[in-house]
Chain A
Amino acid sequence: MKQFLHIAFLLVVASNVTAQRTHWEQAVLCYQEDSLICASEKIDLAIKDSNEVKDPYTWHVRAFIYREISKRSSDENEKNLARDKSVEAFTKSLSLDKLDEQKLKTNNIKGLEAIATGLYNEGVTWLQRFEVEKGIEFLEKHNKTLRIIDDNYFIVEREVSIKRAAAAILTDRYNDDNEGNSDAFDKAIEYYNDILAVDSNDFKTNLNIGVLYHNKGINLLTGTRLDLTLPEIMQLQKDHVFYMQKSLQYMTKAYQTNENHPGVIRALAGAYYSLHDDEKHEFYNQKLIKLEGTEGND
Chain B
Amino acid sequence: MKFKKFIILAVLIIIVPSTIVAQLSNAKKARAMQKAVYFWNFAQGCDWPDEHRSGNFVIGIYGDNELYTALIKGYSSLKRGSQPFKIVEIKEAGEIDGCHMLYVDEAKKYVLESKRKVLKSSATLIITNQKGILNEGSMINFVYPTPLTEFEVSKSNASKSKLVIGKDISSMAVAVR
**Which residues of A does B touch, CB under 8 Å?**
3-4, 7, 106-107, 110, 113-114, 117, 120-121, 124-125, 127-128, 158, 161-162, 165, 168-169, 171-172, 175, 208, 210-212, 214-215, 217-218, 220-222, 224-231, 233-234, 237-238, 240-241, 244-245, 247, 263, 266-267, 269-271, 273-277, 285, 295-298
Contacts and interface: CB of A to CB of B under 8 A. Distances in A.
Interface range on chain B (Cβ under 8 Å from partner): 35 or more
Contact of A241 (B27, B148, B168): B148
B78 A226 contact: yes
Given A172-B16, A175-B18, 6 more contacts: A117-B7, A124-B11, A221-B31, A222-B29, A269-B24, A297-B24
Interface stretch (B36-44, B47-55, B91-99, B154-162): B36-44
Contacts of B74: 226
B135 interface: no
Interface centre among A230, A231, A244, A276 (most CB of B within 10 A): A230
Contacts of A7: 1
Contacts of A162: 12
Contacts of B16: 168-169, 171-172
Contacts, number: 151
Interface of B: 1-4, 7-14, 16-18, 20-31, 33-34, 36-38, 40-41, 74-75, 78, 144, 147-149, 168-169, 172
Contact of A275 (B38, B147, B169): B147
Contact of B34 (A233, A245, A296): A233
Contact of B147 (A107, A231, A241): A241
Contacts of B169: 230
A297 B23 contact: yes
Given A218-B30, A226-B74, A266 B22 contact: yes
Interface centre among B28, B168, B169 (most CB of A within 10 A): B28
